[in-house]
Amino acid sequence: MTLKTLATIAISMLISLGAAQAQDIHIEDAYARAASPIAKSGAAFMHIMNMGDVDDRLIAVRTDVAMMPELHTHIMEDGVAKMREVEGGFEIIAGGATILERGSLHIMLMALTRPMLHGDVITLTLIFEKSGELTIEVPVDNERQGNMNMNMDHSNMNGATMDHSTMENSTNN
């Protein structure tokens, strides 16, 4: 065998290994939304299941629909719910699921490059620490209400509103 043939086989094996690892990650119930056709930001939500035996992390997202896709969560600070980028990404426990939903973990799509209109489909490339890249097609559903209260304790909010003042180009999503 020539060196070129061996290199081709090695590259093919590495590519297939990455695909096998990505097969452990399954995405369900994905959708994206923006507050209006002129919004400068949007968000994406989904259920991420890790069917494998090894914990993983969603560490980044790439898309052509936003110049700044980030992994976000909501935190309570001085009685106000605020969105923050999650350094290090979202843990996806082996044999478990991580739910990205409104009012909790989500993919923030800032500085939209085009409107996210109801019925459109956007492409997201999810980048996992161990499983590599997984590209998915996500429908835009601006009518979906979601589960805003599911993972947040609103008992101490006393009617407070979301503070987006620290985020550029944001809208209430």
Locate the domains of the chain by residue range: 3-139
- Read off the pLDDT band of 2 (50, 70, 90): low
**Mean pLDDT score across all residues of the chain:** 80
* Fold topology of 3-139: Immunoglobulin-like (2.60.40)
pLDDT mean over 128-157: 73
pLDDT of 57 > 70? The answer is yes
pLDDT mean over 113-131: 97
63 strand-pairing partners: 124
Burial track 63-101 (b if 16+ CB lie within 10 A, e otherwise): bebbeebbbbbbeeeeeebbbeebeebbebeeeeebbbb
Give pLDDT tens digits for 68-81.
999 999 888 888 88
**Nearest 10 degrees: Cα torsion 21, 24, 30, 33:** -40
pLDDT of 159 > 70? The answer is no
Find all residues with CB under 8 Å of 111, minimum gap 6, and list them: 40, 41, 66, 67, 68, 168, 169
pTM exceeds 0.85 for this model: no
pLDDT of 101 > 50? The answer is yes
Give pLDDT tens digits for 6-51.
454 444 444 333 333 467 999 999 999 999 999 999 999 999 999 9
- Read off the pLDDT band of 157 (50, 70, 90): very low
Q: What does the pLDDT read at residue 152? A: 38
